Amino acid sequence: MSNHWMFFGGVNYGSTKVDINTGDIYNTADLNNPNFAFRRGPSALDVPLQIKGSGQVELPYGLALSGSFQHFTGFPENTTVSVGSDTVALTQVTQVVLVSPSGTTRLPAVNLTDLSLRRSFTHGKYRIEPVMDLFNLGNINTTQSRITQLGPTYGRTLGIVRGRMIKFGINVDF
């Protein structure tokens, strides 16, 4: 940090297609499975675009400000319908059937920013460093999971990005 700052980051772009019934890339699913038609698609953890950056700058009075930013595309979803013996004659128990190809819909993209402010004080062999961390600076509430089975609760949010959090702490080295 010869100029009192630094920055680093990265970009990742790609996709992973699998047999969504088994997670297998070799397509060995059961041909009698009603989901055979839509079995190829993005893996459950497929995130085609990820961008991350972090940096730190030394401020006057010995303060250090660091931060990070990350953007990632939402995870793929599988829209399904539950078919039971009360709706149609089945040779098996209740089946969950895919109604569209995997990944046709995705969760929303997420943009997160975190900051940290700290200052070190030295006294003899002791070093004390008060720290203030801010997580989710923009207080985003992007949906992270939702109901994907067709019905009256379709699309209902089950989980969101955790809200803004401020953490105070002290690091002591002796």
For residue 37, being part of any structural domain is answered with: no
- Confidence (pTM): 0.77
Residue numbers of the domain that contains 83: 54-173
Tokens 């002290």 correspond to what residue?
170
As a whole number of angstroms, the distance between CA 112 and CA 63 comes to 23
Q: For residue 156, what are the CA distances in angstroms to 36, 60, 151? A: 27, 48, 10
Kindly report, residue by residue over 52-102, the tens digit of the pLDDT: 999 999 999 999 999 999 999 999 998 889 888 777 776 667 778 888 888
For residue 149, being part of any structural domain is answered with: yes
For residue 8, being part of any structural domain is answered with: no
Domain total for the chain? 1
For residue 44, being part of any structural domain is answered with: no
For residue 17, being part of any structural domain is answered with: no
Which segments in the chain show pLDDT lower than 50?
none
As a whole number of angstroms, the distance between CA 63 and CA 57 comes to 9
